[in-house]
Amino acid sequence: MQPKKLPPGVQYAKIELNEACPKGTVPVLRVADKDLPNDVSNLNKSQFSSFDPLDAYIEFAGIFTKTTPDKKYRSIGAKMSVWNPLVRGPFQYSSVAISVEATFGTDFEQIQLGWTVNPNVYGDARTHWFFQMTNKGVSQCHNLLCLGFVQTNTKVPVGSVIEKVSDYGTADQVVLSFSMIWDGAASPRTGKWWVYFNTEPDPVGYFPDELFFELNSGADTLKWGGYVFTGPNDNASPQMGSGKFDSGVYQRTAYMTNVQYLDANNQLVRSPNNIQIAESRCFLEGDESYKDDTIGYTFCFGGKGGIPDYCYHDARR
């Protein structure tokens, strides 16, 4: 579980209802007809739409760690700052997420958990929290359209709008704390992935083991950071995070704190030493290190996006 203490001025994003639903029911996000995208079939697709999640249209900036197939990771967690980045086209998206992954190529499996701005899916340019599942190299689903995901929490509408986001350049920052924990069943390939948020002891729900061929025995890759999708016909990419990158200045740059995971020996790692970094044409990463017992291991990432030849302009390391 993530530490509960937050720095001054920082607050948790509110994604839960004030009152729980009746026993035996769960909250379901309502979408008005006017808010649906023109092609409602998009609601049954992943964020990656019809594009391969590994192709060149998706850019990632952040950190990751890899292990060997016989030493799987058992959990991932972090606190992530929440923003409302600009997307410049109806089929673009900008997300910040933690991710558990297994294998690669046609056998690739992944669960992402975080927040996103995705007009093609939600019919608006607001910030929503989300999860996304990829199975056997095929983008399957997101949120409760992931058939098989079992929601157990009666107060959290999956995919709901995050009303308050961080205020650029001030101490008024909003964060979401997310964790995914593999329950480590004794039998091979029978482990479930549980989803937790903020300081709540009750999980949102879980991904059953039968949904996967590889992730049901743990993850071999963990990722923390930002993702943007720019369509092949778009001239400019969307923003990532706050829309700026100023390394180490967390009031102006998207960041994650309290980066942690459980290793193959079920030991909690709060100061990882095997981290690798990733950047892309328009989006940068920096300041990755362990800071103190309150915010733990942190890093920042993001960028303004735009036309490739100019998007690094004013980015500072």
What's residue 27's pLDDT?
A: 63
Note the pLDDT tens digit of each residue in 7-22.
Answer: 888 999 999 886 666 5
313 HSE (CA, 13 A, CB side): 7
Q: What percent of the chain has pLDDT over 70?
A: 82
242 vs 36, which has greater pLDDT? 242
Residue 193 CA to residue 101 CA, distance in Å, equals 12
DSSP class of residue 219 equals B
Asked if residue 186 belongs to a domain, the reply is yes
Nearest to residue 210, comparing CAs of 229, 192, 196?
192
Check pLDDT > 50 for residue 48.
Answer: no
274 to each of 60, 113, 288, 289, how far by Cα in Å? Answer: 19, 22, 12, 11
Least confident of 179-183, 215-219, 283-287: 215-219
The overall average pLDDT reported for the chain is: 84
- State how many domains the chain has: 1
Q: What is the three-class DSSP state of 174?
A: strand
pTM check: above 0.95: no
Check pLDDT > 60 for residue 81.
Answer: yes
Mean pLDDT confidence for 197-207: 89
Note the pLDDT tens digit of each residue in 93-136.
Answer: 999 999 999 988 788 899 999 999 999 889 999 999 999 998 87
Helix/strand/coil (H, E, C) string of 41-98?
HHHHCCCCCCCCCCCCCEEEEEEEEECCCCCCECEEEEEEECCCCCCCCCCCEEEEEE
Asked if residue 314 belongs to a domain, the reply is no
Asked if residue 143 belongs to a domain, the reply is yes
Neighbouring C-beta atoms of residue 214, cutoff 10 Å: 21
Nearest to residue 173, comparing CAs of 7, 299, 21?
7
Structural domain boundaries, residue 270: 10-302
Asked if residue 79 belongs to a domain, the reply is yes
Asked if residue 311 belongs to a domain, the reply is no
Residue 129 CA to residue 136 CA, distance in Å, equals 24
Note the pLDDT tens digit of each residue in 82-93.
Answer: 999 999 988 899
- At residue 274's C-alpha, the angle toward residues 68 and 67, to 5°, is 10
Residue 49 CA to residue 69 CA, distance in Å, equals 29
Is 125 within 8 Å of 93 (Cβ atoms)?
Answer: no
Least confident of 58-62, 286-290, 306-310: 306-310
What's residue 55's pLDDT?
A: 52
Note the pLDDT tens digit of each residue in 131-175.
Answer: 999 887 666 677 877 778 999 988 899 999 999 999 999 999 999
Task: Kindly indicate the confidence band of residue 69, based on its pLDDT and cuts at 50, 70 and 90.
Answer: confident
Asked if residue 315 belongs to a domain, the reply is no
Asked if residue 91 belongs to a domain, the reply is yes
Q: What percent of the chain has pLDDT over 90?
A: 54
Task: Tell me whether strands 10-12 and 173-182 are parallel, antiparallel or unpaired.
Answer: parallel
What's residue 76's pLDDT?
A: 97
Least confident of 31-40, 162-171, 220-229: 31-40
Neighbouring C-beta atoms of residue 282, cutoff 10 Å: 26
Task: Kindly indicate the confidence band of residue 299, based on its pLDDT and cuts at 50, 70 and 90.
Answer: very high
Is 218 within 8 Å of 182 (Cβ atoms)?
Answer: yes
Asked if residue 114 belongs to a domain, the reply is yes
Name the amino acid, one letter, at 214: E
Residue 90 CA to residue 121 CA, distance in Å, equals 9
Check pLDDT > 80 for residue 26.
Answer: no
